[in-house]
Amino acid sequence: MQVSANRAGNPGRKLLRFTRRINPDRVYAILMILPSVILLAIFVYGFIGQTLWWSLTDWAGLEKNAEKNYIKLDNYKTLFSDITGMRFRQELVNTFFFTLFFVGGCLILGFILAVVLDQNVKGEGLFRTVFLFPMALSFAVTGTIWRWLLNPGGGINALPKMLGADAWNYRWINNRSPYTFNWHEVPLTTTLLIIAVLLFFIFRQIWRRKYLATIYLGVPMALLFLWMWSDWVSWDDTQAMHGTFNWQDVPRYVVAVIVIGFVLYMVSLLWHGKRRAALILGIPTAVVLLWYAAGGTDNFPNVEFPEAYGFNIALVGVIIAAVWQMSGYTMAMYLAGIRGVPEELREAARVDGCSEWQVYMRIVLPMLRPITLSAAIVLGHISLKIFDLIFAMAGIDHWPVSVPGVQVYYTMFRSNKFAVGSAIAIVLLIMVASVVIPYLITSLRAEHEL
Amino acid sequence: MSKRIVSLVIVLVLLLVMAAPTMAQDGPSGELEIFSWWAGDEGPALEALIAKYVELYPDVEVNNATVTGGSGVNARAVLKTRMLGGDPPDSFQVHAGQELIGTWVVADRMEDLTFLYEEEGWMDKFPQGLLDLLSYEGGIWSVPVNIHRSNVMWYVPAKLEEWGIEAPATWDDFLAVCPTIQDAGVTPLVVGENWTVNHLWESVALAELGVDGWNGLWAGEKAWTDEDVVAMWDKFGEILACTNIDVDAATLSWQQATDKVIAGEAAFNVMGDWAAGYMVTTLGLEPGVGFGWVPSPGTAGVFMMLSDSFGLPKDIKNYDAAVAWLKLLGSVEGQDIFNPLKGSIAARLDSDLSLYNAYLQSAAADWQSNEVVGSLAHGAVAPESFSSEFGTVMEIFLNSRSGIAAANAAQAIARQAGIAG
């Protein structure tokens, strides 16, 4: 048999090779996967594509074959800059704070519960179950229960009555004000104190010849100082309230964060002697900086009037309910993790003179990092797309605690604006994907390396 | 052997299925699904009507599909998913006016009911103004069951005497007595969840803008940014300061808000006259003694109306049974069974007033003599693209308490909905 004939592509041979590759195992494997691949392609990715397309149209109304005209990114522009998108912007801010406190609260509370249960308490099994029980409920049930508990006229507010005291009248989720504080009532020394602590660490790092760490500490310190300084200079009594920010400043904030991130990365590259990479990175950084200095962000589609947003105090009630439900989950994760830390390691540390506190902070906690990360991802994507808890606790009209998921429903099935609702859904998808996809990539890579 | 039996059974079943429609030819049969938000306290009226229907058409099995939530907030969303999914109920409740026309008729989802009006001789049995609300492009699109009044203020006469006040005739009167009531440790005016705030707003707006101003907003003849509209918002802010809006409003249903008035925890409540139905039927109070009423301040002589109606969707499963249902709804008998229990007056002009209680008789008298305008919060005057987004305007106002901010937002939304003046 000549090799050249083979190369020329004798069809018969090719077919033979092909059929040889299709052994029954392969066929079965493909057949087994095929249904789910097809179903996923249609019911997940197909519909994501359809939603994306709808979000670029002007579809509104319930006609049977409704006219859908392509209007580019107008729906997104409405959401981010038109006065009618105000609710959506408030919801983005709400989601940010809810995610921050919900994930943080669950991790901290879960860890504490796990450590407590790890002390060989009597009836550990019972407590474990008790702490885990809320997770067995759906968010709709949790929301209804906490709606009653946090009702200003009863529930938790009525507790002092049992002791003969006056009932509280805290408003919980009915509170409409954002968290504010008067900067000039907070002693200026607080900031100065933080700056002093940072300075101490900076000098310590310089002493240790860790110059990179110096920069990492120095940048936030400088920013803090500038912020304090500008606040001091521009202070007038009418604008003494802080704790909120103006939406018009958001593009500037975003660009500033990007530039600072790039600069820090450049410095670290230079530090490791990668000059060319630093130079390559420096060019776009300089361009962005120049564009920013030339007022590039002013041309962004932005809101017409100043809009103040901040942390709505009403969210506290929702965060309590959500943490109550999900901290059992982090407890279970951490407990499993703690039990996975070899007893020998702890013993060795104790022999070396570690206190129990140090054992947890220096030995156990670092070994739990993968667990913290995956718990944070799971909780984070739950909180970004949360709907049922808010729906049950506050309904869909209560702005102070509303989230984008609620508004998808509102926009589509109240206002009949299906295109705008799709646009919100796509924004939600992007937010969740930006949390989940990096995690999936790193965990897949880690599996390959193993 | 067994295979033969199975195929025999299948053939028999098929024969039965095919024979079923031909067997009952003398009246509608099968299942009739009626979709509404009349559950709980408003349920008995609908159930009485269904009982009558079953008595008339015993072959029909009625499926009473209700979705709870005041003013239909949840029901409308469920209805839309069903209609979009090609599964319309045989007949559904819808507010007469723009909620019917702007959402369903424009979308070509409804059957024209003119034939029914002509067959039954209804053309001169309903007031012309109401028929106008139900008509669009030459068709009449639903059958009205009742008339409700939106601008009513409720109170307990004995309590007012105790506090030494009278029901206010204008909002300025109300603001004047507000501190007195607050000093007694009582909420001057109680509101509940969000839509009840919109409900209060429309009474305030009607009082401050007058009939022409109110109608001008919806006809596109008056801008939301006009000076008097902005001033009205600011007045509304002053009134809100006399309510429980910042305390527990968001967690109260309209019934719970009414309960607070009855319990003496609040002095007044502006709510549609379904509140009378609740107080009479559920709480067992006597009109004029257990509770009293006046037109909401500054709106004497004006009747802000809304009407519940039932329509006939296209592509339904049981057309005959649905038409029979609509016939019952539009008849004097049907309306007089339903309305005394519901706490509303009949949409027909020839109903038997002796069946109705003292409140409803006074409402019926006002309905004949007053100037009539439509409600925003209950779907009569504006399409849903505006009325649902009005919640956003209200939130902007509640957060900023700035009349000009609310006015600008309302104007922007009105422009998007195509009704801006």
Distance from CA of B289 to the nearest CA of A (A): 28
Q: How many Å is the Cα radius of gyration of chain A?
A: 28
* Residue of B87, B251, B393 for testing the chain A interface, max A β-carbons within 10 Å: B251
Confidence of residue A104 (pLDDT cuts 50, 70, 90): very high
Give CA–CA dist B406/B250, Å, rounded. 20
Residue A397: partners with Cβ closer than 8 Å, 6 or more residues away = A410, B73, B193, B194, B195, B391, B395
Packed helices B390-400 and B403-417: angle between N→C axes, nearest 10 degrees: 170
What average pLDDT score do residues A373-401 get?
Answer: 91
Distance from CA of A53 to the nearest CA of B (A): 18
The pLDDT assigned to A444 comes to 86
Give CA–CA dist A294/A292, Å, rounded. 5
**Nearest Cα residue in chain A from B389:** A415
Residue A71 in contact with residue A53, Cβ under 8 Å?
no
- Residue A231 reports pLDDT greater than 70: no
Chain A CB contacts of B249 under 8 Å are 174
**Nearest Cα residue in chain B from A151:** B251
The pLDDT assigned to A1 comes to 43
Q: What torsion, rounded to 10 degrees, do the Cα atoms A205, A208, A212, A216 define? A: -10
User: Could you state, in order of their start, the residue ranges of all structural domains in chain B?
Assistant: 28-148+306-374, 157-298+389-417
Confidence of residue A235 (pLDDT cuts 50, 70, 90): low
Alpha-carbon distances, residue A380 vs A137, A384, A425 (angstroms): 19, 6, 17
Look at the block and give the residue holding tokens 């002693």.
A187
Please name each of the domains of chain A with its CATH number: 2-55 (no CATH), 74-180+309-449 (1.10.3720.10)
Give CA–CA dist A124/A127, Å, rounded. 5
Q: What are phi and psi of B167, to 5 degrees?
A: -65, 130
Buried b (16+ CB within 10 A) or exposed e, B320-333: ebbbbbbbbbbbee
Question: From first to last of its 421 residues, what are the pLDDT tens digits of chain B?
Answer: 566 776 766 666 665 555 554 444 467 889 999 999 988 777 888 999 999 999 999 999 999 999 887 667 789 999 999 999 999 999 999 999 999 999 999 999 999 999 999 999 999 999 888 898 899 999 999 999 999 999 999 999 999 999 999 999 999 999 999 999 999 999 999 999 888 999 999 999 999 999 999 999 999 999 999 999 999 999 999 999 999 998 888 878 899 999 999 999 999 999 999 899 889 888 999 999 999 999 999 999 999 999 999 999 999 999 999 999 999 999 999 999 999 888 899 999 888 999 999 999 999 999 988 998 999 999 899 998 898 889 889 988 988 888 998 999 999 999 988 888 7
Buried b (16+ CB within 10 A) or exposed e, B267-279: bbbbbbbbbbbbb
| Secondary element (H or E) of residue B148 | strand B146-149
Between A5 and A51, the higher pLDDT residue: A51
Give CA–CA dist A86/B312, Å, rounded. 38
Instruction: Look at A84 and B416 and tell me if their CB atoms are within 8 Å.
Output: yes
Confidence of residue A324 (pLDDT cuts 50, 70, 90): very high
Between A308 and A59, the higher pLDDT residue: A59
Confidence of residue A5 (pLDDT cuts 50, 70, 90): very low
Average per-residue pLDDT for chain A: 86
- Residue A239 reports pLDDT greater than 60: no
Alpha-carbon distances, residue A253 vs A88, A98, A220, A258, B8 (angstroms): 19, 20, 14, 9, 77
Q: Is B157 exposed, middle or buried (0-12, 13-18, 19+ CB in 10 A)?
A: middle
Between A223 and B338, the higher pLDDT residue: B338
Q: Which of B84, B107, B389 sits opposite A84 (nearest CB)?
A: B389
The pLDDT assigned to A182 comes to 64
- Tokens representing A424? 């919100």
- CA A288, distance to chain mean position in Å, is 26
The pLDDT assigned to A114 comes to 93
Work out whether strand B91-95 and strand B302-306 pair parallel, antiparallel, or are unpaired.
unpaired
Q: Which of B77, B108, B194 sits opposite A64 (nearest CB)?
A: B108
Specify the CATH architecture of the domain B157-298+389-417: 3-Layer(aba) Sandwich (3.40)
**A355/B contact by beta carbon, under 8 A:** no
Chain B CB contacts of A151 under 8 Å are 248, 251
Q: Which of A82, A394, A415 sits opposite B384 (nearest CB)?
A: A415
**A246/B contact by beta carbon, under 8 A:** no
Indicate the CATH number for domain B28-148+306-374. 3.40.190.10
Q: Which of B77, B246, B399 sits opposite A399 (nearest CB)?
A: B399
The pLDDT assigned to B149 comes to 95
Distance from CA of A229 to the nearest CA of B (A): 29
- Tokens representing B102? 């702007």
* Residue of B74, B392, B416 for testing the chain A interface, max A β-carbons within 10 Å: B392
Q: What angle do CA A381, A384, A386 make, to 5 degrees?
A: 100
Work out whether strand B142-144 and strand B308-311 pair parallel, antiparallel, or are unpaired.
antiparallel
Q: Any idea what DSSP says for residue B40?
A: G
The pLDDT assigned to A108 comes to 94
Give CA–CA dist B353/A292, Å, rounded. 74
Instruction: Classify the complex by whether its ipTM is higher than 0.90, answering yes or no.
Output: no
Q: Which of A151, A175, A414 sits opposite B388 (nearest CB)?
A: A414
Q: What is the per-residue pLDDT across A175-217, written as a single tens digit (0 to 9) for each?
A: 877 777 665 656 566 777 888 888 888 888 788 777 777 777 7
The pLDDT assigned to A362 comes to 87
Instruction: Look at B107 and A62 and tell me if their CB atoms are within 8 Å.
Output: yes
Q: Can you list the alpha helix ranges (DSSP code H) found in A42-85?
A: 47-55, 74-81
- Tokens representing A354? 């570690």
- CA B291, distance to chain mean position in Å, is 22
Work out whether strand B152-155 and strand B266-270 pair parallel, antiparallel, or are unpaired.
antiparallel
**A84/B contact by beta carbon, under 8 A:** yes
